Structure 1
Amino acid sequence: MKKRSVSISGHRTSISLEEEFWDLLNAIARQQDRPLARLIAEVDRNRIKSAEPANLSSALRVYVLKHVLAEHSEKSPEKG
Structure 2
Amino acid sequence: MSLNELKKRNIKINGMRTSVRLEPQVWEILHDVAHEIGCDVNRLCEFIFERKSEESSLSSAIRVFLISYLNIKCKKDKQ
Q: Which amino acid aligns with 2:57?
A: N
TM-score (norm 2): 0.87
Q: Return the offset for 1:53.
A: 5.6
Q: Say whether 1:2 aligns with 2:2.
A: no
Alignment of 1:11-50 (within 5 A): 11-47=16-52
Q: Return the offset for 1:21.
A: 0.6
What is the aligned length? 74
Partners of 1:67 and 1:10 in 2: CA distance: 25
Give the superposed CA RMSD: 1.2
Partners of 1:10 and 1:57 in 2: CA distance: 18
TM-score (norm 1): 0.86
Alignment gaps of 5+ in structure 1: none
Alignment gaps of 5+ in structure 2: 1-5
Partners of 2:75 and 2:63 in 1: CA distance: 18
Partners of 1:44 and 1:21 in 2: CA distance: 16
Larger gyration radius, structure 1 or structure 2: 1
Question: Between the two proteins, what is the percent identity of the paired residues?
Answer: 30
Partners of 1:59 and 1:75 in 2: CA distance: 24
Runs of 4+ in 1 over 6 A off after TM superposition: none
Q: Return the offset for 1:10.
A: 1.8
